[in-house]
Amino acid sequence: MRRAVFPGSFDPITLGHYDIIKRGLTLFDEIIIAIGINADKKYMFSLEERKQFIEKSFIGEYKIKVMTYKGLTVDFCKQQQASFILRGLRNPADFEFEKAIAHTNRKLSEIETVFLLTSSGKSYISSSIVRDVIRNGGDFSGLVPDTVNIK
């Protein structure tokens, strides 16, 4: 089975994330969307909210699991018997950053990182931009799946 882990904080999940995951489904038998827990990071949305946004976005998609984890992504991959890490690239800066992480992960394990370029219409979207739009009362609906809502 070709199992991949798509790690991130997903604060919140964006249409860029959604695009990579949907396209990744054509490459892998299963994708584990892994929400990393970092006690030092201040999140806009709670862990449970982030998990629900993702689960609702992929309701009925049997090839997707949503899980949380702490620690190294490669350790989580080993625990889940995943041979691949799936990552999205928006621009050259993402590539340089992700390349260093992929090399480190490869040094620590046998897990391969697979990169997909975001679709051209989604390459400008990031969770930090979405959070800024939300904080300032802007219309964020074209940046995230419909399942992301604010109470």
User: Is 90 one of the annotated active-site residues of the chain?
Assistant: yes
Q: Determine which one of 17, 51, 87, 122 is catalytic.
A: 17
User: Is 41 one of the annotated active-site residues of the chain?
Assistant: yes
User: Is 107 one of the annotated active-site residues of the chain?
Assistant: no
Q: Determine which one of 22, 65, 90, 99 is catalytic.
A: 90
Q: Determine which one of 41, 42, 107, 151 is catalytic.
A: 41
Residue showing tokens 């584990």: 32
Cβ burial 125-144 (10 Å sphere, 16+ → b, else e):
bebeebbebbeeeeebeebb
**SS3 of the chain: helix, strand, coil, percent, to 5:** 40, 20, 40
In sequence order, which residues have a C-beta less than 8 Å from that of residue 131 and are 6 or more positions away?
11, 12, 44
What the block records as the tokens of 33 is 């969307």
Classify strands 64-69 and 30-36 as parallel, antiparallel or unpaired: parallel
Q: Determine which one of 50, 83, 87, 127 is catalytic.
A: 127
User: Is 103 one of the annotated active-site residues of the chain?
Assistant: no
**Do the Cβ atoms of 53 and 13 come closer than 8 Å?**
yes
Annotated catalytic sites, by residue?
A: 17, 41, 90, 127
